[in-house]
Amino acid sequence: MHTLEDISSLFENKFYEPPLLIQACGRINIIGEHTDYNDGFVLPASIDRHIYFAIGENGSNECHFHAADIGEECHFSLSDIKKSEKAWANYLMGILQQLQKEDIALEGLDVVFGGNLPVGAGMSSSAALEAGFALGVCSMFNLQKSRRELAQLALRSSHEFVGVPCGIMDQFASLLGRREQAIKLDCRSLHYEYIPLNLGDYELLLVNSGVSHELANSAYKDRVEECATGVRAIQTAYPGVESLRDVTFDQLEACKGAMAELIYRRCRYVLEENERLHQAVEAMDEGNMETLGALMLRTHEGLSKEYEVSCRETDFLVELAKEQPGLAGARMMGGGFGGCTLNLLRKDAKEEFLKKIKREYYRAFSTKAEHYELEVVNGTDIVN
C-alpha cells in the first residue's frame, strides 16, 4: 500500500529527477459480466482505488521498473522486449511493444508504481497498470492518442503480449470513467454514454472474499472458447451472426439441438445478461434500486449456475447478503473464481450488514472478508 506521495519520493530517491505522476483507477461493474468479449454491453465505473505511477525518461535504451508494493524490479532493453516471469511487468512491456509495432521511437524509462488497488480482487488492477502506463508513456513522448485508442491499444497488448483473451471493459472503464457516473458501453461499436449513479438511500459496497482461485485464468479462456463454439453452431443456421451479440432468444432456441447442453447454457446466460443490463439502466433512470438489486441477484445466479464462474466463497457472500435487512442486491463481480462481491445496500443498514457478513464469513472460511466503501471518480489521469 503506497500513496501518491510515497511513490513520488521513492522515485526521486532512486532516480534523482522529478517524475511525471499518473493516477490509474480500478473499476467496478454494476451489471454486464462476461458480455464484453461477446460484443455485448457493460456498465462499469472507475473508482477511487488507484495505482500511482512515477515515470521519467533516462536518455538510454534501458527500462527500469520498480513495483513498490511487492518490492520487485524488472530491467530490460527496449531493443529486446520479451515476456518476463514477473506477471506485472508484462502488462507494462506489452504497452511498449504495441507502440513499437506502430514504429514509434521510444527511449528508456524509469518507472516506480504502487497504490491501494488490491490485486486479485476483481477490481482490475491489471487494466489499471496498462491504462496508467499507456497514458504516461503517451504524455512522456507527446503521442497524440485518444483515451479510446489507448484502451484499444491496451486490449491488443493483453491479447498479444500478456496472452489473456479479455474484453475491453476494464481498460475502457479505467481510462474513460467519470465522477458519479457509470459508463454504458457497447463493446462492439465502442459507443458509450454516461449514466448518472443516483442511488438515493443506497450505496455500493465491495466485500472481498480474499480468495483468488488458480482456475481463474484457464476457466476464463474456456468461457471465451465456449461462447465461440456456440456462435459457430448458430452460424450454420444463421450465417449473418458474428457474435452472441447478434443472436436472439428465438435463434438460440432454434439451434439448441445443434450444440452441447453446456454451450447452450453459456450462450443463454450471455443473451440474458445483455437484456438485464438494459433493464438495469432503465431502473437506474427511474431511481428504482429494488429492481436494480433484483437484476444483480439474477446476474449472480446466472454466473454461478449457468456460466459457472463463481466459487463457494462468493456464493456464500451473496447468499448471506441476501438475508440481510437493507440489501437490494449482490453479485460476484469481474472474471470470477474469487475476488469481490458488489452489494447494493441501504446506507443505514451498512454497520449491521458488515458485522454479520464478516463474522459469518470468518466462521465459514477462517478468512477475513475486507470491505471497501467506494467513490466513483474521474478515470485514470496525469496528476498536475
Q: What are the residues binding ligand GLA (CB under 6 A)?
A: 33-34, 36-37, 124, 166-167, 169-170, 334-335
CB of 221 to ligand GLA, least distance (A): 11
Cell output for 326: 437493507
Q: How far is the CB of 292 from ligand GLA (least distance, A)?
A: 18
Shortest distance in whole angstroms from residue 244 CB to ligand GLA: 13
- Phi/psi for 282 (5° steps) reads -60, -45
Question: What does the alpha-carbon distance between residue 137 and residue 283 come to, in Å, rounded to a whole number?
Answer: 40
With residues binned 3-state (H G I as helix, E B as strand, rest as coil), the percentages for the chain, rounded to 5, are: 45, 25, 30
Min separation Cβ 274 and ligand GLA, Å: 12
DSSP 178: B
What size, in residues, is the chain? 384
Region of residue 72 (left: phi > 0; alpha: psi -120 to 50; beta: else):
beta
Residues near 364 by beta carbon (within 8 Å), at least 6 away in sequence: 316
Of the pair 8, 304, the CB lying nearest ligand GLA is at 304
Catalytic residues, which ones?
A: 170
Beta bridge partners of 195: 182
3-state SS assignment for residue 324: coil
Closest separation between CB of residue 334 and ligand GLA, Å? Answer: 5
Least distance CB 200 / ligand GLA (angstroms): 26
96 Cβ neighbours under 8 A, 6+ residues apart: 63, 78, 81, 106, 137
Q: Select 110 or 226, whichever has its Cβ closest to ligand GLA.
A: 226
The letter for the amino acid at 137 is V
Half-sphere exposure of 80 (CA within 13 A, CB side): 5
Measure the CA–CA gap between 131 and 134, rounded to whole angstroms: 5
- Judged by beta carbon, residue 314 or residue 324, the one nearer ligand GLA is 314
Q: Name which of 126 and 324 has its Cβ closer to ligand GLA.
A: 126
> Which of 8, 208 has the CB closer to ligand GLA?
208
Nearest of 82, 66, 45 to residue 172 by alpha carbon: 45
Report the residue number, 110 or 130, with the smaller CB distance to ligand GLA.
130
Residue type at position 144: Q
